Amino acid sequence: MSDAAAKPDVSVADIFREFLVIGATSFGNIVPYLRNSLVVKRRWIDDDGFIELMSISETVPGLNAANIAVLLGDRLRGLAGSTAALVGVCLPGALVMYMAGIAYHIHGERPIVTAMLKGVAAASTGLVLATIVQLGQKSLTYISDFLFVVVTVVAVNRLHQSVPRVLLSVGLIAVLWYRPRQKSAQRNP
Amino acid sequence: MKQLPALARVFAYVSLLTVGGGMAAFPELKTLTVDVHKWLTLQQLIHLYSVGQLAPGPKMMMVVPIGEWVAGVAGAVVVLLAFFGPTAVLTLIVGRVWNRLAEWPWKTSIQKGLAPVSIGLMLAGSLTVAKGAVTDWITATVALGALVILLLRSVSPAILVLGGAVVGALVFLPQ
């Protein structure tokens, strides 16, 4: 790695502890928590570096938080750091959901639980849509972008095509659409 | 126990489709866990996903209870490893070669092209959820309310989910 900045002296245990805390205390969008902890508080990476990790995370499969943990852990302490970060960030939520799953199995049929879950599911739907709208505001620029969004949604929800098929076909067309160009680097909106 | 290989296969496969976010893989997750393997109902899947919004850390920890229901602790562990392992290895490799790709012109093309498709996939996933979660005007109001509040104010999403629980308890509880 051609990292110009000197790597801070961080132990694998430090990495595990920090990511465990993030994994236990972050609610909703986890990215601001990661940035606050890793860039502002610990200074394990600077803002540019963090943005780079974000863009790698968004390009490869996997949840962003997990991917950032893997990438930063690797840069700090190689494979061991990477594993420590990933386990740390996942463990608290996994334990919470493990117990929630058991509780749901026992009490899920009670009228009060069913009633509450109906409201929870509806609110969560709004939550996910808000995340997508915010993401869209950030990364959809051209008419072609919106077109690719629409084609993807129609292919999955209306034409009932499988996700991998859509990802490969529409994804390939979109990548080719934005193929490297010699003359005009910028495409008109 | 004999379900463990199926769990590993399904969740490793689904994890590779989470481009941009966990929601992108939801339609495939639904098809495999609900329709093909019948591990749970669509309603249960949506409930787990929604409750997962209240858990800390990366979203999609709702995969853990699915593993637990099917094969106990072993199922939960297998699902976790399958869901996070393969993508972690992939990310590790891409992360290590990323700097060498800096000059590669197709890198930008891939990022630019994948961005709208991953947003489309996440939208498709959330519409799959919405179909099961938004069933009348009350749930529609709660969903729309949460959406608008989040876009206009910086509120903790957990508060809104809890608010949804309160509304649900008040409105849907049979008297």
Q: Supply the Cα-derived Rg of chain B in whole angstroms.
A: 18
DSSP single-letter state for residue B32: I
User: How would residue A155 be classed by pLDDT, with cut points 50, 70 and 90?
Assistant: very high
Which pLDDT value is given to residue B111?
Answer: 87
Q: Give the largest Cα separation in chain B, rounded.
A: 66
Task: Note whether A35 and A45 are within 8 A (CB).
Answer: no
The predicted-structure confidence for A124-133, as pLDDT tens digits, reads as follows 999 889 989 9
State how far the Cα of B39 lies from the Cα of B84, in Å rounded to an integer.
Answer: 20
The predicted-structure confidence for A109-123, as pLDDT tens digits, reads as follows 899 999 999 999 999
- Interface pTM (ipTM) of the complex? 0.90
Handedness of CA B88, B94, B99, B103 (dihedral sign): negative
Handedness of CA A46, B119, B40, B132 (dihedral sign): positive
**Record: contact B99-A120, CB cut-off 8 A:** no
At A142, is the secondary structure helix, strand, or coil? coil
Task: Note whether B165 and A116 are within 8 A (CB).
Answer: yes
Q: Which two tokens stand for residue A75?
A: 């840069």
The predicted-structure confidence for A163-188, as pLDDT tens digits, reads as follows 999 999 999 999 999 999 875 555 55
State how far the Cα of A189 lies from the Cα of B80, in Å rounded to an integer.
Answer: 42
Task: Note whether B39 and B62 are within 8 A (CB).
Answer: no
Indicate the residue type of A21: V
State how far the Cα of B73 lies from the Cα of A119, in Å rounded to an integer.
Answer: 29
DSSP single-letter state for residue A188: P
Which pLDDT value is given to residue B8?
Answer: 98
The alpha carbon torsion through B121, A48, A90, B159 (nearest 10 deg) reads -70
> Does residue A51 carry a pLDDT above 50?
yes
State how far the Cα of A146 lies from the Cα of A140, in Å rounded to an integer.
Answer: 7
CA angle A76–A77–A81, rounded 5-degree value: 105
Within 8 A of B125 by CB-CB distance, chain A residues are: 128, 156
The alpha carbon torsion through B19, B25, B26, B32 (nearest 10 deg) reads -170
Which pLDDT value is given to residue A29?
Answer: 79
> Does residue A2 carry a pLDDT above 50?
no
Average pLDDT value for residue range A135-155 = 93
Which pLDDT value is given to residue A4?
Answer: 44
Q: HSE-up of A153 (CA within 13 Å, CB side)? A: 16
> Does residue A137 carry a pLDDT above 50?
yes
Q: Which two tokens stand for residue A155?
A: 């292919």
State how far the Cα of B171 lies from the Cα of B139, in Å rounded to an integer.
Answer: 10
Q: HSE-up of A116 (CA within 13 Å, CB side)? A: 15
Average pLDDT value for residue range A75-82 = 96
- Exposure pattern of B26-49 as b/e (b: 16+ CB <10 Å)? bbbbbbbbbeebebbebbbbbbbb
Which pLDDT value is given to residue A187?
Answer: 52
State how far the Cα of B30 lies from the Cα of B33, in Å rounded to an integer.
Answer: 5
CA B26 vs CA A48, A50, A162, B62: distances in Å = 32, 27, 11, 11
Q: If you count residue pairs, one on A and one on B, with CB atoms under 8 Å apart, how many are there?
A: 377
Within 8 A of B147 by CB-CB distance, chain A residues are: 126-127, 129-130, 133
Task: Note whether A57 and A45 are within 8 A (CB).
Answer: no
Which pLDDT value is given to residue B107?
Answer: 86
Better-scored residue on pLDDT, A6 or A44: A44
pLDDT profile of chain B (175 residues), mean per 10: 92 94 92 97 93 90 96 97 97 91 86 91 92 93 95 88 93 82
Average pLDDT value for residue range A6-23 = 90
pTM of the model: 0.89
State how far the Cα of B26 lies from the Cα of A118, in Å rounded to an integer.
Answer: 19
Closest CA to B20 of A103, A167, A40: A167
Q: Given its phi and psi angles, is residue A79 left (phi above 0), alpha (psi -120 to 50 degrees) or beta?
A: alpha
Determine the distance in angstroms separating the CA of A91 from the nearest CA of chain B, rounded to an integer: 8
Within 8 A of B127 by CB-CB distance, chain A residues are: 153, 157
Determine the distance in angstroms separating the CA of A44 from the nearest CA of chain B, rounded to an integer: 17
Which pLDDT value is given to residue A166?
Answer: 92
At B16, is the secondary structure helix, strand, or coil? coil
**Record: contact B91-A90, CB cut-off 8 A:** no
Determine the distance in angstroms separating the CA of A175 from the nearest CA of chain B, rounded to an integer: 4
Residue A79 CB coordination number (10 Å): 11
Q: Which two tokens stand for residue B92?
A: 């590790």
> Does residue A92 carry a pLDDT above 70?
yes
Which of B108, B111, B123 to mutate to probe the A interface, most A CBs <10 Å?
B123
Which pLDDT value is given to residue A186?
Answer: 53
Which pLDDT value is given to residue A31?
Answer: 86
Which pLDDT value is given to residue A131?
Answer: 87
Which pLDDT value is given to residue A118?
Answer: 92
